[in-house]
Structures are given as structure tokens and as C-alpha cells.
Structure 1
Amino acid sequence: MSKAPQPGKDCWRIEHANAASVIVDAEDYFRHARAAMLKAQKRIMLIGWDFDARITLLRQDEADDGAPIIIGDFISWLVEQRPDLHIYLLRWDMGAIKSLFRGSTIVTLLKWMRHPRITVKLDAHHPPAASHHQKIVVIDDCFAFCGGIDMTGDRWDTRHHRDDDPARRHPDGSYYGPWHDATTALKGPFAAALGDHARARWKGAGGGDLTPIKGIQDCWPDDLAVQFHDVDVAIARTAPKMDDQAEVTEIEQLYCNQIAAAKHSIYAESQYFASRRIAEAMARRLDEPDGPQIVIVNPEQADGWLEQQAMDTARARLVEALRARDVHGRLALYHPFTARGVPIYVHAKILIVDDRIVRVGSSNMNNRSMRLDTECDMTIDTALAANAGQGDTIRAIRDDLIAEHLDLPVERVAKILAERGLVAGIEELRDKPGRTLRAYVTPNLNDVQAWLADNEILDPEGPEEMFEAIEKRGLFRRMGHWVRHPHLHRRKR
């Protein structure tokens, strides 16, 4: 049997969850987050990369409980309804600067600052050019969300990812494109452990000590279906090396171990594919004559010109290197598109290995998430004794994700994947009109883009590399043992 996660090596802690579920796309997440916060009695901790007080958590026609639907108003209303409730909001300091100029944001923040039970802090405890990237909500230390969805603009979408959905609008009324994302909900001792982590983050940002909350049990949202009952869940983190902080690379090690453990299939969704170490781990599996099939779902392009120069170019170089090793035809990369052919932006961070492992968190498959930014992921692994018998649920989550991308009944997708395998099954099912997955095509790389990718100018592997001499850096500097193809270093024609 493959090794289970090991605290102190590839995870921080393993804790019990009385209930757990994977939540896909922000329509469901925002609705369940609001319902969970309505149950809060003592404390809510909101930790994120970004936060926009103007977004709505529900559509207007869904609100029938008298509580506001705009999150800024909702938080203010909530503390007035619960005289013992304290709310702590921690977000990345650099990302907060531009948000101050979003409509009524300053007014809302000033209102919160005057309230004795709402505390907002900007987290500056990170190296230059790093970010706090975790997306965590902890409620009364009995319930938590952990995943990849921030409570900010551009995130809300349904699982249908309809073209021109009238509800997919910025607070100013302008339209944004379709968005795919994921998080998890967990109840019990796991939530208390995530509360320990959240309080440590709060203290590290200068927020002082907070004591744990004890004795509260009623915290699961009433309408959220439970997928897992009584499971053990691993928490893995990334934290950069700093003068007062040791480096934490649990997330990177867990990725490598989970890729190495795969028997039949690896299914991943990630905003980026640009990590050398993850590519190396996959290359080793592609070398094996009976290794696993690997499917990666990425957005067609990164969000923003700067990210495209860094991440998309690095992806092209790594994919070409892996394809050169994929003599058995087991690697496939795809992008989801709407019915009219509009790219769906993939922001989810998911890894599903066989019917054994499901992992959801904030970490992308890029260098920053391995060593520079702060990240937090959760994993349910059937190699842990308490999780025996959960394989069908894990496989069903994977099949449901693929069915969403292909806009097909999950029963049909599950049947074809079981018969044909992961890659061949998707290839058979995606050849259709309407919403579907399209295969990744390596773009032409100009000389500047190739240089940026090879030298990792915009995706450093850690804080020390930010100032490392360029001649010592490079996408392939440790890959001499698995890159032997000179066409990878030429501009593609």
C-alpha cells in the first residue's frame, strides 16, 4: 500500500473531520459561506488573498431570511445580531492597496474600524514580491472552508458557466467572463486545527493572541450535502523562509509523493502549470511503461499580461519537455470552453489520484506556490485507516468535475472513463459541439518570452532566488537528467 501523508514531512497535521465536502464553483460556495456565518456565535476568521466588501453572496431572488446579501453589509448586520460575535479579517497587504479605490470599499472599512468587534488587518509578514495566498474561513473553531476561492469580485459563477450570464457582473455592473473554482467544507477537530493555523497567521501579522473557541457544535450549513463522514484529513502548507520563520515546503513534498503514489490516473486542475519539481515528478511516471495517465486542466491563458509572460511561457516549455518523454501517450492537457467557445478561466486547485486521494487548496502548480507564497491545502487519502471505503466518493468527485467541463451527464462520463481510461475516455467524450474541453496547443514563443521562462524572472522558486544571479537560475537548470531534446531550446516555428 502507498504511504499515507506523514506529519512533519509532507503535511503539518492530520486531524479528524466529522463531515467534509468538496464545493465546486462560487455560486455554491458563497451561498454556503453565508449560511455557515449565520450560525456563528463567537468568532469568524476570514483569511484571504483578496476581499471585496461589495460582492453579493446570494442572488436577490434567493434571499428570504432578512439578512443582507452584500458581504460588507452582511458582516455589519451579523455583529449587530450576535452581541458575542467577533469577526477578524486578514488579507494580503499589497493586494489591499488597489482595493481601497473600489467604489464604497473605503466607507465600509471605516465603518468596520469603528466597530469594537470587527477587526481588519493587512498581512505584511512576507518576503518582497511574495503574497499571502491562502483562502480560509474558520467559524467558532468547529467549521471551516479551505480551498481556492476568495470572497472577491470576478469569482461568482454557476457550474453551467453560461455565456452572458446576467448575474456574472462586477459590483459596478460590468461583465466578466466564466470562472471555475473549488473549495472544501469541513467540520470538527480539523476545523479546530485550521483555527490554530488561522490564529498563528493572525498573530504573525501583528494581531496578537486569540484563544480557541470551545464547545460549539452546530455549525454545518443546513443545505450543504455531506460527501465524507468521519474521515482523517491532512493539512499541508507552504511558508517562505524569513529571518523569523523557517521554510515550510509540505505542499511541494506532498505533490511529489502523491504523483509518485499514483497507480492508474492523475487528474489535476490548476491555474498554472509551471513548477519544475512537479514536472520532474510527472516525467518519472511517464517514463514507466505501466505508469499512470495524467490529465491537467488549465485556463487557456493566465489572467493578465504579466502572468501570461511568466506562467504561460513556462508551461509551454515544460509541456514540450514532458511530451518528448511521453512515448506511451499518457499525458493530456485541456482547457474548458463555453458553448459559444469562450474560454472558462480555471482557478481551482485540485488533485485527484486514482480513487484514493482528493486534494483541494490554494496552491497552484507553479514555483511560487511551492516556496515563496503562503499556501494551505487539505487532503483526504484512503491510505489513512479511517478513510477506508471512501474510494467511490473520490472517484465520483473526479467524474463530476469532468462531466461539468464536458456538459454531459455524470453517469455517462463515469461509464466511459471506467471503460476507456482517463485520457481515452475524455478524448471520446469531448468531440462534440457546445461546452467542452479543448486540447492544449503549444504556442510559438518569441525570444523574450523564452528567456523569461527559462530564467524564471516572474515565477521565482523562493525568496532567495529573487536576488540570485540570473546565470544560476533557469527553468531547466536541474533537468539535465530528463531533458535531452535540443528542439526544446529553440524557438518553435
Structure 2
Amino acid sequence: MTSKTIFDTKTNCWQETHANFATPLIDCANYYRALHSSICKAEKEIIIIGWDIDSRIRLLHGEDEEQSEAPSRIGELIKWKAEQNPDLKIYLLRWDSSFAFFDQREMWALEVWQDKTPDNVKALLDDSIPMGGSQHQKVVLIDNEVLFSGGMDVALHRWDTRDHKIEESERDGPDGEYGPLHDVQIVSCGPLVNHFAELARWRWDRIAQAPMPTAETTESDNELPATWPEGVEPCFTNVDCAIARTIPEMEDVEPVQEVCHMLLDVIGSAEEFIYIENQFATREEIAKALNKRLKECPKLNVMIVSSYDPKGLFESEAYWASRIAFKDIIEDGIDDGRAMMTYSSIRDRQGKMAYKRIHSKVMAVDDKYLIIGSANLSNRSMSLDTEVDLILHGNNEENRDCIRLIRNDLLAEHSGRTVEDVATLIDSDTPVQALMDGQLAHGYVLTEIDDNEFTDPSQENVFRSISDPEKPLGPPIPSLNGKLTWITNPRRRTIMIALGLTILSVLVGILLYISNTVSWLDGDQITAFLEESRGTYFALPTVLLVYLVGGLLFFPVTVLSLAVAAIFGPIWGPVYGMLGALLSAGVTFVIGKLLGNAGLRKLGGPKVEAVDAKLKESGIVGVATIRMLPIAPFSLVNLVAGISSITLVQFLIGTFFGMFPQMIAKGLVGDSIMQIFKSPSKETVTYLVIGLAFWVAMIFGSQKLAKLYQAKKQQKKKDESEECIA
């Protein structure tokens, strides 16, 4: 190292190292654009570790997306890159998230990558974290020479530009448009990359069946590597740095709390100005360190930028309630105006208002240290989650200028000023107060936080114990060797199976309850009800009503068809039955469509997508084939078809062609049964035998036709493939 630092590998950091070049990427549009560029340049290896890796996310927007030859969505980009270069190895490691984040995550994240990418793409879900914790490190390594790290994931509700417009059509998600969001990542190269690669491989090897091969060590030089992102100018050059981690106690892993110790030591070195922007601020140990240093250094000022409006009850009661105490601790015994916790918001000339959501994890201490990482100032980030922070040291005048520039640039964005104006204000005798005074209307401004308008201060509550715990939620259990180990979060697959079984049990219970308690829901009652309508104007409406209600309650359509044929005869019975079946099929199809749009399609995952594609491809013939074969209950087929992409018209036409021959057969059988009861004779018995034979023949014949049709389609595809090759 070129100058003395507070870095200590025994207490506050894992590695002391060096970066040849580094620069922050402020806000997600800039990060995603840089990430896209580096991925496109990769030749050997891509490693992505994250809280989330969502295949649907667009990395490019606007002109960048229109002019790019490579796909914009990261799932398509990874697939395209892997197909282009089969020798390229791609590793994706995402947290196997808890139930609390199901609405924010791809439901079948692992299957998406496994089913839609080549074999040189490996994906894993990390479920090794103790219960209540999360895998929160965000790291991307390109060819073991370029590193992206910080607070940003490739996830929903992250993308935004530095303008942070009140309304932005590109800032959208599955649940609609979201508000302005601010985040910070850093891209770097040099010897530090090898240490992050070691961390990534350690994470991978702990849960993978086969270890990740060791990559070549990056050579240290003073040139930008080939995979450095286009259009990104380095700020730091030859900068000393340290890597600090949080790792909870896990099986065969000792706990690490370097992040917390580093923050405390960095705060303890402050003399003039501490700038912090962070998603959460609840760790009282950090607040006490800030208060202590403010009292020790009368010239020290502290400015904190965080979010304003809490998202939901858990965030309000776990983080905002605790932030009240955090703020009170910092300000205790300190002169007004020396320490300020703020949020950034904007109100335009039309009165529209927006609050900037802060997701970044940044701390700048004087011009000596700049921290950009994944750790929030929360209990869980200091002890329970996995975190990694990069700490850069102002080891020369140029790098100290970079720390000041980045700090001033961030404050300029939040307060609607220029970087030069911020620099002047910070150099004043009362920098915090100067930053708060004289802000211009109709742009972004900083306002002091008052969380009492959202909640009451609380030392401990159930929300905090669940959302911001210091220790795992589950108790430790003894392993085979006698050592106590923490229970991990339930796997996503386990949760999905349990959820599916619960829903299925509830539905079955409801249907059983109805069938056992509703007196008219049996064959005899339905037959009697239909019998009363025979010969009246209400015959057809009655049949339609019975089919409709029966379909909603999963009543067997065969029983209904036989009953209708028995009552209305071999001619009108099949006609009425066909109309009733089409009505029931259409209604339950629409219900399936609504359920699919509400989330069942997402719940089904890529396997259902594959079946859906085949059903859509086969169209009317495919539906007719399914109707001919007694492979699933009538109403269940309707619901599943509704969830698929086939149209209602195709479905009804296919249903007609598949069921009408059966209706004729059932008409013969049903009418024969009725005639046998009324006046048994050889003729009526003969009709019954013929009807049953015709029905069985229809089943076997439809199976034969389906197999022939499928074989013909496969042969056609084979012939087309051979023509293409020729």
C-alpha cells in the first residue's frame, strides 16, 4: 500500500488489494448498459451472483436497444452469447428466495435457465443461508478481468435513469409503472478481481455437485482490459482498496462480520464530512458510532440520504420504526444542523409529486474512503445476510479528487444542484445546513425525514424480528457429528409443492363438502330436474343450466350426457347435450383464462409453456384429439386450455369435433337404457349393445387417429428439416 490505511485483515476486511481502474455506475440505466457491453465482449467466462437474476429484464432501452445487434433481455442475451461461443462458460447463482418475495421473482427461475439455454450455461439456486437470512451479494465477473459489484441486481423494479422522471414509461414491471429509483454499482479491474473470483467460486462450490474450474489469474497492468464496458471512463486509477464481507454462521462456515467492523472503523476516522446513502438505517451500533464521532470532532458533519415512503406494513414497522431510534441516537447531544437524515423528492409545476427510492449502499468519509457495496445499515446486513462491500482509499491526490467528485455528484442529483455548487456548499462552515437551504423548487430537493408520520418508534416488535433480525429465525439443530447447525430457509421447490398441495386440498375439500351437503347434486336429482322440463319451452335452457352448473362443480360430463340422451331421445339428446357442453366448456375456459392472467401461467413455469406451445401449434385438431381421449375430467381440460394461449374459437370448434361423435354414441346408449327401463325387449338391448360398441370404437378409433396424425406431423417436420439441410 502506498499510504497508511485503517484496513486490517484480522478485523475489518477479508483482503487488502488494489484496483488498476474503477468508476461508479450511478443508477441502473448506466449499469445495465455497461453490463450488456461487457457480456457481449466476453470470451472465456461469465459469473453472475445475485439476490436475483431475472431473465425477463431488459438491459437496454430506447436507442441503445434499437441499435444493438445483441438481444436486450438478459435471458435472451445469455442464450445468444452461449450459442455464439460454445467454449464460453457461464455461471448463474441466485438466492433461492423465501415466500415473502414470490411476487417479485420469477416463479421458475432455475427451470427458465435450464430449459432455454445451452449446456454451457450453468444455473443454481443458493438455499444454504440460515432461516430468515438472504444471499445479498451482487457480483458479476467477466473473463476474470472485469468486476461489477455494489447494490444492483438484474431484477424487477430497478431500472431508471439519472433524471428520475416523475413519470417514465420505460420504468415498468409486471404490476405496472413504479416510481423513481436510485442505486449505485462500481466497475473495476486489476488484482481485486481475483479475490472476488475466489469469493464467487467459494459460493458456487459450497452447493454445486461439480466445482467451478479455476480461471486464469488476471495480470496486473495499466491498460483497460478487453471486456471493459464501452463508453465508461475510469475515475480511479491505481487505487488501494479492501474487501469486507458479512457471512452468517452456516454449516462448516464460521461467521464473518467484517462489514460492520469496517463501517465502525471508517466512521471513527472521519474528521470533516460523512456522506451516506442507504436503503435502510436501523443498526443502532452504527448510529452510536456516528454520534460518538460527532462529539469527538466538532467540525464533523453528517448527511444521510434514504427513502421516504415505506412499502407495506413490514417495511414500515420493521425499518421505519427502527429508523426513528437510529435518527434520535445520532442527534442526541449534537447541535442542530450538523447531522441530517433526508429524502429526495420532486414536485413539478403541475403539482405532481414523486419520492426517489434509495436502494444504494454508499458511504464517503471525507476524501479518504469511499464504500460501495451490498450491505444496508441494518441488523441483517451486519450479521445474517451474505454481503460484500468494496472500500476504496484515497491514496493519492487524484483518487481523493475522485471521492470528492462522486460524493458531490450524488448530492447534486439528490438536491437539484450542480456538482460545482455542492462542492462550494460542503466547503462552508455549516455544510449540512447549507445543502438544505436555498434549494430550487420544481426539481429534486432534500427534505429532513420524519418517520413519526408513518409509525411509532419501537425497540422490538414482531415485524422487526422477522424482517430485520440479527440471528436466524429458526433454532439450531444437531447434525450427525453433534455440531449445532442452523435451519435454512425452505427451498423454493418445497414451498411450491406445499402451496400446490394446500390449494388442491382446499379445492377438493370444497367440492366434497358441496357434493355431501347439496341434496340435488346427484344423478337421480338431476335426472328428475331434467325430466320436468321435457316437452316444455324450458327444455333447452334447463339443459344449458345443468351443464353450466355441473361444469363449475366438476360434475362428470358423461353422466350428464347420458341423462340428457335418456330423457330427450337419440336425436334431441345429443343436440341439447352438445350445446350444453359447449356452453360449459366456454365458461370454464374463460375462467381458466382469467386465472392464468392472474398468475397461474407463471406458477406453471416453462414445462407448462412447452405443453402450451404444442397445444397452440396443434390448434383445433389438438383440442379435438384431447376431447376424443378420456384422459382428464372435462372441466379440468377447459381450465387448462384457458390458461394456455389457444383462442376460445379454436377451443370450441375443436371441442365440437371431438365430442359430437361421442354425443351420438351416448345418445344411443342413454336412450337404450331408458327404453330398457320402460319396456325391455331384444330390440332395446340390441340398441344398447350397438351404442356401447360404437362408443368404445370411437375411443379406440380416436386414439388411432391421434397417433397417425402425430406420426404424420413428425414425418413432415423431418422432411422439412432434411430439405433445409440439403
Question: Normalised by the shorter chain, which TM-score bucket?
Answer: 0.7 to 0.9
Q: Which range moved further: 303-312 or 33-42?
A: 303-312
- 1:43 match: 45
Identify the residue that residue 320 of structure 1 maps to in structure 2. 328
Counterpart of 2:154 in structure 1 is 151
Of 265, 273, 278, the residue aligned with 2:281 is 273
Residues of 1 paired with 2:60 and 2:169: CA distance?
14
Counterparts of 1:349-428 in structure 2, within 5 Å, are 349-382=361-394, 385=395, 387=396, 389-428=398-437
The size of the alignment, in residue pairs, is 462
1:485 aligned residue: none
Question: Contact between 1:41 and 1:82, CA under 8 Å: does it hold in 2?
Answer: yes
Query: What residue number does 1:462 align with?
Result: 471
Please say which of residues 248-257 and 446-455 is displaced more in the overlay. 446-455
Please say if residues 239 and 393 of structure 2, whose CA atoms lie closer than 8 Å, have aligned partners that are also in contact: no
Distance of 2:293 and 2:152 partners within structure 1: 30
Q: CA RMSD, aligned part only?
A: 2.5
- Relative distance call for 1:417 and 1:84 in structure 2 (3 A) is same
Cα displacement (A) at 1:26: 0.2
Q: Which moved more, 1:117-126 or 1:283-292?
A: 283-292
Alignment of 1:293-312 (within 5 A): 293-312=301-320
Aligned to 2:341: 333
Displacement of 1:9 in angstroms is 1.5
How far apart in 2 are the matches of 1:431 and 1:288? 34
Post-superposition Cα deviations, 1:411-432, rounded to whole Å, max 9, x if no partner, equal 2222222234430221124363
In 2, Cα distance between the equivalents of 1:83 and 1:110?
16
Deviation string for 1:254-288 (max 9, x for gaps)? 00000000010110000011002101111211323
Query: What amino acid does structure 1 have at the position aligned with 2:179?
Result: G
Instruction: Tell me which residue corresponds to 1:134.
Output: 137
Q: Distance in 1 between matches of 2:154 and 2:415?
A: 27
Q: Name the counterpart of 1:261.
A: 269
Paired residue for 1:109? 113
1:173-252 matches, cutoff 5 A: 174-214=176-216, 217-252=225-260
CA apart distance, 1:206: 2.6
Query: 1:427 and 1:408, CA in 2 relative to 1: closer, same or farther beyond 3 A?
Result: same
Query: Superposed, which structure 2 residues align to 1:416-455 within 5 Å?
Result: 416-430=425-439, 432-443=441-452, 451-452=460-461
Query: Deviation per CA, 1:375-414, whole angstroms, max 9, x where unpaired?
Result: 00001112xx5x5541111001000000011222212222
Larger helix fraction of residues: 2
Equivalent residue for 2:298, pick from 290, 296, 320: 290
Match of 2:89 in 1: 86
Q: TM-score, normalised by structure 1?
A: 0.87
**Bigger relative contact order (CA 8 A; separation at least 6):** 1
| 1:117-152 deviation per Cα after TM superposition (whole angstroms, max 9, x unaligned) | 111100011111110001110111111101000101
Structure-2 separation of matches of 1:205 and 1:317: 39
2:380 is paired with a residue of what secondary structure? helix
Between the two proteins, what is the percent identity of the paired residues?
A: 32
Cα displacement string for residues 415-461 of structure 1 (whole angstroms, at most 9, x for unaligned residues): 22223443022112436342111111141576795541897453222
Any residues of structure 2 matched to 1:17-56 within 5 Å, and which?
Answer: 17-56=19-58
Greater Cα shift, 343-352 or 452-461:
452-461
**1:49, 1:92 within 8 Å by CA — same for their partners in 2?**
yes
Q: Tell me if structure 1 keeps the 8 A contact 2:157–2:178.
A: yes
2:338–2:433: 8 Å Cα contact kept in structure 1?
A: no
Q: Distance in 1 between matches of 2:269 and 2:457?
A: 37
Q: Measure how far apart 1:102 and its partner are.
A: 4.3
Gaps of 5+ in 1: 469-493
Q: Which amino acid aligns with 1:319?
A: K
CA distance in structure 1 between the aligned counterparts of 2:27 and 2:130, rounded to whole angstroms: 31
Supply the AA of the counterpart residue of 2:330: L
SS of the equivalent of 1:204 reads: helix
Distance 1:25 1:446 in 2: 29
Deviation at 1:95, TM superposition (A): 4.9
Query: Which structure has the bigger radius of gyration?
Result: 2
Distance in 1 separating the partners of 2:282 and 2:15:
27
Q: Deviations over 1:153-209 (max 9, x none)?
A: 100000010011111111x48211110000100112111211111110111223532
Alpha-carbon separation, structure 2, partners of 1:49 and 1:325: 39
Secondary structure of the structure 1 residue equivalent to 2:407: helix
SS at the partner of 1:94? Answer: coil
What residue ranges of structure 2 are gaps of 5+ in the alignment? 219-224, 477-726
**Further displaced range: 275-284 or 207-216:** 207-216
Structure with bigger strand share is 1
Q: Any conservation in 2 of the 1:147–1:184 contact (CA below 8 Å)?
A: yes
Letter of the aligned partner of 2:265 in structure 1? N
- Structure 1 letter corresponding to 2:161: T
Retained in 1: the 8 A contact 2:52–2:153?
Answer: yes
> Where does 1:478-489 land on structure 2 (aligned, <5 Å)?
none
Measure, in 2, the Cα distance between the counterparts of 1:196 and 1:130.
22
TM-score by length of 2: 0.60
Question: What residue number does 1:487 align with?
Answer: none
| Range with greater deviation from structure 2 (407-416 or 42-51) | 407-416
The CA distance in 1 between the partners of 2:212 and 2:344, in whole Å, is 43
